[in-house]
């Protein structure tokens, strides 16, 4: 009899060991490329997976080989009880890495509890170092809060602290060198992310996209980028440093250099949909079966089938955006 592999392996032999969990579609910001409040109705409270439900799914998926979880949203830190939930998550046997992506507005207030809950690595989204521009991009005058939160996180020993910068033409692409310079003064890992044409504002997608090659050229002409050797747990970021810098520069290029071949991720949306690919609208419902009494075995099969349905690569281009069905605020980026 053929033995069924316990692990999540897709048809292209990619081993999926990384689950991104969006715990809420709510966000306290309304970034110009995301705007959860304006464009999509909020999920009803009962449509969002409870913490208990997420933990049940974790019990099912850890034996399938998931070792790494990133919490995202919406803004994960706006959900009530998040720090207690993180403590329960980090206590699960078999998870080697639990991390958080946040806009950083509540960092100062919550860092103590986040650390006590077992988080050591942070990704903080920061698209501008200019207070006014930050407000224009996010709809909120919160730059100072985020900056002070980063300062505090550094002093408390969070490491690495990654700054996610979505580069948008004519909006923040004049700040590339300012972000790069930060790494001489602080040990931050600044990661420039190509803008993805997904969700809202479709009409001007094409104009916002700046390819990594262009960003790299600009930075290289300021200071030579030195490649950092890849670590075993590295994600899609191409990593560099500068001679004498404390931090790193990374480039994430979902548009110009698909990293689909090495993609090891599955996503669980706030409403309990499994999403094999961020950039494809295919979703598999796991909330329904979960709430109608599916056994662990049945839930495990849903995860396995989601893995098997993962496509070889995404088909998103600046000219062919993903429509409104896809909302970063629910999927989590």
Q: Count of CB atoms within 10 A of residue 13's CB?
A: 6
- Interface with ligand SAM, residue 163, by CB under 6 A: no
Q: Which of 134, 158, 195, 240 lies at the binding interface for ligand SAM (CB under 6 A)?
A: 195
| Interface residue with ligand SAM, options 89, 166, 307, 322 (CB under 6 A) | 166
Per CB under 6 A, 251 contacts ligand SAM: no
What is the smallest separation between the CB atom of 26 and ligand SAM, expressed in angstroms? 10
Place of tokens 């077992």: 118
Q: Does 101 bind ligand SAM (CB under 6 A)?
A: yes
Give exposure, 90-105, as e/b (b: 16+ Cβ within 10 Å): eeeeebeebbbbbbbb
CB of 222 to ligand SAM, least distance (A): 23
Residue with tokens 């590295």: 234
- Give the span between the Cα atoms of 229 and 213, in whole angstroms: 19
Q: Contact between 33 and ligand SAM (CB under 6 A)?
A: yes
The terminus-to-terminus CA distance of the chain in angstroms comes to 40
Q: Which two tokens stand for residue 152?
A: 């505090």
SS (H, E, C) 34-90: CCHHHHCCCCCHHHCCCHHHHHHHHHHHHHHCCCEEEEECCCHHHCCCHHHHHHHHH
Tokens matching residue 272:
């309990």
Where are the extended beta strands (E) located within the chain?
18-22, 68-72, 97-102, 122-125, 161-167, 189-194, 226-227, 238-241, 248-252, 265-268, 273-275, 284-285
Distances (CA, A) of 70 to 12, 212, 267: 23, 24, 10
- Tokens at residue 96, please? 């080697």
As a whole number of angstroms, the distance between CA 51 and CA 181 comes to 40
Give the one residue of 43, 61, 150, 193 binding ligand SAM; rule: CB under 6 A.
Answer: 193
Taking the least distance from each CB to ligand SAM, the nearer of 197 and 272 is: 197
Q: Does 164 contact ligand SAM by CB under 6 A?
A: yes
Choose the binding region for ligand SAM from 98-106, 179-187, 217-225, 298-306 (rule: CB under 6 A): 98-106
Residues 6 or more apart whose Cβ sits within 8 Å of residue 93:
62
Query: Residue 17 or 253: which CB sits closer to ligand SAM?
Result: 253
CB of 127 to ligand SAM, least distance (A): 7
Question: Cβ 179 to ligand SAM, closest distance in Å?
Answer: 14
**Closest among 68, 63, 111, 64 to 89, alpha carbons compared:** 68
Size of site (CB under 6 A) for ligand SAM: 19
Least Å distance between CB 326 and ligand SAM?
A: 10
Q: Please identify which residue in 24, 72, 183, 245 interacts with ligand SAM, judged by CB under 6 A.
A: 72
57 touches ligand SAM (CB under 6 A): no
The only residue of 82, 161, 198, 300 in contact with ligand SAM, by rule CB under 6 A: 198
Question: Is residue 255 close enough to count as binding ligand SAM by CB under 6 A?
Answer: no
User: In angstroms, what is the minimal distance from the CB of 205 to ligand SAM?
Assistant: 8
What single-letter DSSP state applies at residue 123? E
Closest distance of CB 66 from ligand SAM, Å? 20
- Binding track, positions 102-141, relative to ligand SAM; x by CB under 6 A: xx---------------------x----------------
How many Cβ atoms from other residues are within 10 Å of residue 199's Cβ? 24
Is residue 215 close enough to count as binding ligand SAM by CB under 6 A?
no
In the complex, minimum distance from the CB of residue 333 to ligand SAM, in angstroms, rounded to a whole number = 3
Q: Where do contacts with ligand SAM occur on this chain (CB under 6 A)?
A: 27, 33-34, 72-73, 75, 101-103, 125, 164, 166, 193, 195-196, 198, 328, 332-333
């Amino acid at each position: 009899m053929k033995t069924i592999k316990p692990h999540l392996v897709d048809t292209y032999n990619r081993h999926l060991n990384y689950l991104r969990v969006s715990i809420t579609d709510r966000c306290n910001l309304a970034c110009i490329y995301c705007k959860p409040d304006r464009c999509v109705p909020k999920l009803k409270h009962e449509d969002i997976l409870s913490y208990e439900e997420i933990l049940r799914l974790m019990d099912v998926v850890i034996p399938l080989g998931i070792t790494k979880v990133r919490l995202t949203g919406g803004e994960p830190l706006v959900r009530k009880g998040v720090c207690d939930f993180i403590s329960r998550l980090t206590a699960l046997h078999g998870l080697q890495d639990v991390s958080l992506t946040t806009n950083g507005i509540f960092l100062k207030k919550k860092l103590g509890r986040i650390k006590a809950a077992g988080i050591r690595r942070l990704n903080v989204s920061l698209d501008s170092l200019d207070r006014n521009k930050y407000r224009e991009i996010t709809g909120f005058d919160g730059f100072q809060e985020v900056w002070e939160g980063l300062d505090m996180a550094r002093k408390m020993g969070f490491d690495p602290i990654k700054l996610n910068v979505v580069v948008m033409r004519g909006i923040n692409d004049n700040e590339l060198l300012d972000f790069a310079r930060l790494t001489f003064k602080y040990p931050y890992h600044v990661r420039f992310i190509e803008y993805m044409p997904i969700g809202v504002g479709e009409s001007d997608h094409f104009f916002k996209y700046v390819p990594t090659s262009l960003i790299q050229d600009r930075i290289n002409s300021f200071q030579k980028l030195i490649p950092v050797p890849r670590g075993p747990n590295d994600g899609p970021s191409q990593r560099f440093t500068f001679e004498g810098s404390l931090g790193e520069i990374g480039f994430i290029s979902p548009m110009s250099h698909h990293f689909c071949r090495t993609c090891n991720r599955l996503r669980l949306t706030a409403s309990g949909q499994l999403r094999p690919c961020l950039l494809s609208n295919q979703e598999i419902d796991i909330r329904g079966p979960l709430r109608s009494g599916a056994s662990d075995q049945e839930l495990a099969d849903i995860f396995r089938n989601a893995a098997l349905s993962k496509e070889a690569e995404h088909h998103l281009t600046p000219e062919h955006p993903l429509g409104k069905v896809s909302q970063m605020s629910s999927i989590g980026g």
